[in-house]
Structure 1
Amino acid sequence: MELPDAPPALLLDPAAVDAEDAGAYRLLAADIASGVAVVAARHRLRDVAATVTGFLDVSYDPPTMLVCLFEEGRICDAVESTGAWALSVLRRDQEGIANWLASPGNPVEGLLDRVPFRRAPRSGAPVLEGALAWFELATVAVHTAATHRIVVGEVTAMGRGVAESEADDPLVHYARSYRGVTG
């Protein structure tokens, strides 16, 4: 069966990508739905945290995950320097936390003063209270990709922040905004 004509493809020469191409890419990439989490670390006696949408599980044996971090961000420096971090997967009703920790120019001191958290058992990294799931990780590899670092970590501890029966509405980022799965 022949399909109807599709909209024209945008063919790019990677060596000649300009601002217009980057804008088109951002627009199209916004159509990729992704979960929302907070990466946090304890660095130089301070808690550092940031909202992320670029994370995934890599392997079950051993349990391994990765996260993509902007290389010039405080969280990237903290995760790379400490080698241990926590990832808290957010619920739909934690959108305010996601917005707060995604805001540029957040304070260095007191960043988590209005965010309920507890300490991960091994590293002491902040784990957000009420998260769908949380993982404490030890970094095993870091790779550079354009303006980001891909940080791979083995899980050293994990758990839920809510009862399994309440873990039914994750926060999702899609089309440049936050949404829930159930509505």
Structure 2
Amino acid sequence: MHPAQHPPGNGHTDGQRFRSVLGRFATGVVAITALDPASGRPCGLAANSFTSVSLDPPLVAFCVAYTSTSWPVVRGAKNITVNVLAEHQQPVCAQLAARGGDKFAGLEWTSSPGGNPVLDGALAWIDCAVEAEHPAGDHVIVVARVLQLDTHADGGPLLFFRGSYGRFDGPA
């Protein structure tokens, strides 16, 4: 191992370097949706930190920033729905990631069996109940039990890689 390839750790990681290095790990993008119990209107947020956790019981997890103003509204619903976004849904992701305003303006959706928005064009939906929230730095890790799930539309996934959105071109 050449010292220039692996600089010694000093116990501190610069935020920009952290993003740059971890940005080399491609992730899918999901939209977490629900119906606001207070108004009955759809609410949601975008996340690229989503993973399956367990088959028995069926659990998934995602991370939400503590500064999110959308998560407390979504969290207020009895159940939430994870929408796996398709490659053409970058504008949907941007709209759900924006602060304020009507995040669902112009978006088409149908109801999942749990009653939450399933976005038109999403590859799959997963109805969940939040089981636990774990503080983790400037985010909270949300663990949710899967209640129902299904595929929805065909196509490739929306990917996030090195700070940009893209698509999967398939095996070489």
TM-score normalised by the chain length of structure 1 = 0.83
Task: Note if 1:49 corresponds to 2:44.
Answer: yes
Which structure: greater helix fraction?
1
Structure 1 residues without counterparts, runs of 5 or longer: none
Asked if the contact 1:40/1:75 (under 8 Å) is kept, the reply is no
Task: Note if 1:180 corresponds to 2:167.
Answer: yes
User: RMSD of the TM alignment (CA)?
Assistant: 1.9
Runs of 4+ off more than 6 Å = none
CA deviation digits over 1:46-102, x for unaligned, max 9? 322111100101112222101101122123212433342111001111111112222
**Matched pairs, number:** 168
Matches within 5 A, 1:101-180: 101-103=96-98, 105-107=99-101, 110-122=102-114, 124-162=115-153, 166-167=154-155, 169-180=156-167
Identity %: 27
TM-score normalised by the chain length of structure 2 = 0.88
CA distance, structure 2, for counterparts of residue 77 and residue 60 of structure 1: 27
Structure 2 residues without counterparts, runs of 5 or longer: none
Per the alignment, residue 36 of structure 1 pairs with 29
Report the 3-state secondary structure (helix = DSSP H, G, I; strand = E; otherwise coil) of the residue aligned with 2:76: helix
Instruction: Check 1:12–1:87 CA distance in 2 against 1; reply closer, same or farther (3 A cut).
Output: farther
Report the 3-state secondary structure (helix = DSSP H, G, I; strand = E; otherwise coil) of the residue aligned with 2:106: coil
CA distance, structure 1, for counterparts of residue 141 and residue 87 of structure 2: 26
